């Protein structure tokens, strides 16, 4: 039977319903033991209850170092994997030809929550004429990323870095500025994912693309491997999106942005969804 928020204070981050079904009892990084993973009884959205959002987790890079401490992964190996993931994302973006090739002005791309900046750096290398910018809340991570990039490539990065959050002020000042806006493993971290996506839509030029990647809540390993589930359900992730719920999130964000119906979608994948702005 569903549990009521009269006792728990639960509110779904997508539909704001107040009843839930328990899904998983443990949350990595929760020293209190009071947090759990639940499914909304109305829309099925999976999330942390209660959501814990602390910018210090990112300013101090605690998610990275807690994973290294708990799993024993060497820092060098973690960085190498992050670099490979960035290469994969650049290849996917270029394969799907999301950057315009036939316009007179240079294409513009913004990576939101870009962390160490590996994706932005590699995209700039692959498309030297493109204007590539990165927005991240942590000045410390930006500085660390620049040092790591110089170690890997023995040259400073040519990306424009901005320390800050995507909020209504940033969205207002950068309306319809970018041909491509990317959110790689970002929306699962925020307490207001619909507003984040709505603000991201405001940044996209007409005919441009918004690309979002998240961990897949339908990953079979979550059911097959208790160790993988214990690792994946963490205090930093407030939401866990299936492909259907990711599509729903993008639709809700678009409707909030423009106040009209959802456009036709294109190029939907298990982890990455590309949607084009009208």
Which segments of 96-242 does DSSP mark as H helices, in order?
118-126, 139-153, 168-173, 193-203, 221-224, 226-232
**Per-residue model confidence as pLDDT tens for the chain (278 residues):** 565 545 567 999 999 999 999 999 999 889 889 999 999 999 999 999 988 887 777 777 766 766 667 667 777 888 899 999 999 999 999 998 888 877 778 999 999 999 999 999 999 999 999 999 999 999 999 999 999 999 888 778 899 999 999 999 999 999 999 999 999 999 999 999 999 999 999 999 998 999 999 999 999 999 999 999 998 999 999 999 999 999 999 888 887 665 544 454 434 333 445 555 54
Q: How many alpha carbons fall within 13 Å on the CB side of residue 252?
A: 16
> Backbone phi, then psi, for 25, in 5-degree steps?
-85, -15
For residue 78, give the nearest of 61, 53, 55, 59 by alpha carbon: 61
User: CA triplet 154, 159, 164: central angle to 5 degrees?
Assistant: 125
Residue indicated by tokens 């699962």? 188
CA dihedral 38, 41, 42, 47 (to 10 degrees): 0
User: CA triplet 189, 247, 251: central angle to 5 degrees?
Assistant: 95
Contact 108, 135 (CB under 8 A): no
User: CA triplet 184, 186, 189: central angle to 5 degrees?
Assistant: 155
Give dist(CA 199, CA 205) in Å, integer: 13
For residue 51, give the nearest of 68, 34, 66 by alpha carbon: 34
pTM for this prediction: 0.88
């Amino acid at each position: 039977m569903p549990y009521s928020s009269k006792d728990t204070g639960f509110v779904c981050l997508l539909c704001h319903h107040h009843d839930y079904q328990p899904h998983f009892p443990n949350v990595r990084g929760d020293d209190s033991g009071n947090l759990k993973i639940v499914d909304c009884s109305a829309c099925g959205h999976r999330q942390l209850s209660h959501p814990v959002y602390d910018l210090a987790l990112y300013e101090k890079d605690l998610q990275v170092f807690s994973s290294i401490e708990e799993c024993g992964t060497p820092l060098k190996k973690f960085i190498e994997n992050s670099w490979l993931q960035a290469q994969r994302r650049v290849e996917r973006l270029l394969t799907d030809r999301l950057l315009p090739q036939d316009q007179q002005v240079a294409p513009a791309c913004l990576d939101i929550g870009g962390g160490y900046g590996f994706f932005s750096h590699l995209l700039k290398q692959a498309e030297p004429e493109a204007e590539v910018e990165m927005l991240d809340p942590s000045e410390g991570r930006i500085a660390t990323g620049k040092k790591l990039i110089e170690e890997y490539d023995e040259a400073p990065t040519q990306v424009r870095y901005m320390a800050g959050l995507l909020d209504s002020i940033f969205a207002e000042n950068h309306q319809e500025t970018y041909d491509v806006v990317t959110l790689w493993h970002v929306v699962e971290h925020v307490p207001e994912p619909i507003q984040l996506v709505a603000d991201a839509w405001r940044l996209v030029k007409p005919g441009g693309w918004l690309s979002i990647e998240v961990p897949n809540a339908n990953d079979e390993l979550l059911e097959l491997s208790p160790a993988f589930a214990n690792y994946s359900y963490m205090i930093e992730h407030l939401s866990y999106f299936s492909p259907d719920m990711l599509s729903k999130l993008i639709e809700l964000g678009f409707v909030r942005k423009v106040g009209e119906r959802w456009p036709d979608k294109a190029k939907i994948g298990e982890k990455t969804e590309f949607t084009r702005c009208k």
